[in-house]
Amino acid sequence: MRDAGTKLLLHACCGPCSAGCLGGLEEEGIKPDLFWYNPNIHPWTEYRSRRDCLEGLAGRKNLKLLKIDEYGLRLFLGGLGAGGGNGAKAGRCGYCYRLRLEKTAETARREGYDCFSTTLLISPYQRHDDIKKTGEELAARYGVPFFYRDFRPLFRGGQKTAREQGFYMQKYCGCIFSEEERYAP
Ligand code: SF4
């Protein structure tokens, strides 16, 4: 168990994934602050639904929620053109992890957190090892430790809790490409 006073900034991609991670952290006696920065979520109505769901969860759990509340369609697509693989999954997901984790590391350093992490570590659908590697690289660059946990065993339980509690449940990963992959025939 970690020191219950660990000041952790937890990047949060959505309410359901956050619920699972928070359960695991509670068992370790850690109450993180949440951080919303997700320029990868499109379109706008989807962005709003996920953001509002997370705000509700933070309120109910009495957790501090830091937000960079900027809908990032243009930023995200522009960055892809500059090295994110032009929409191909291999390039774009790496770019997407780095974009969000870098802002989290930067914010953690500026605001005096002990460490940072991300709820992306709970998803069995993400490239877990890439997320870990990116977090560790950014930790070295920003001088703030990456708080790594394999939260994946908590995924199903977190989703179940989220459903029972009436959370907004997304149907695709986030970006406009993943929406197409989910729905296009
Ligand atoms: S599929 Fe998911 S992780 Fe990959 S770029 Fe899109 S939103 Fe990001």
Domains of the chain: 8-183 (3.40.50.620)
- Ligand 1: lining residues by beta carbon, under 6 Å: 40, 92-93, 96, 173-175, 177-178
**Integer angstrom CA distances of residue 52 from 21, 44, 69, 114:** 18, 12, 11, 27
Residue 37 pLDDT exceeds 70: yes
H/E/C letters for each residue in 68-128? CCCCCHHHHHHHHHCCCHHHCHHHHHHHHHHHHHHHHHHHHHHHCCCEEEEHHHHCCCCCH
pLDDT of residue 1: 46
% of the chain residues with pLDDT over 90: 90
pLDDT of residue 87: 60
Average pLDDT over residues 83-109: 86
Distance CA 143, CA 140 (A): 5
Strands lying side by side in the sheet with 33-36: 65-67, 33-36, 8-11, 115-118
pLDDT of residue 84: 56
pLDDT of residue 66: 98
pLDDT of residue 80: 87
E strands present in 17-86: 33-36, 65-67
Q: Which of 102, 177, 180, 182 to mutate to test the pocket of ligand 1 (most atoms within 8 A of CB)?
A: 177
Contact of 125 with 13, CB cutoff 8 Å: no
pLDDT of residue 184: 95
Phi, psi dihedral angles at 37 (to 5 degrees): -155, 100
Q: Which of 76, 126, 175, 181 to mutate to test the pocket of ligand 1 (most atoms within 8 A of CB)?
A: 175
pLDDT tens digit string along 129-146? 999 999 999 999 999 999
Pick the more confident residue, 163 or 82: 163
The conformational region for residue 90 under phi > 0 = left, psi -120 to 50 = alpha, else beta, is alpha
Range of lowest pLDDT (29-33, 86-90, 155-159, 174-178): 86-90
pLDDT of residue 176: 95
Contact of 167 with 15, CB cutoff 8 Å: yes
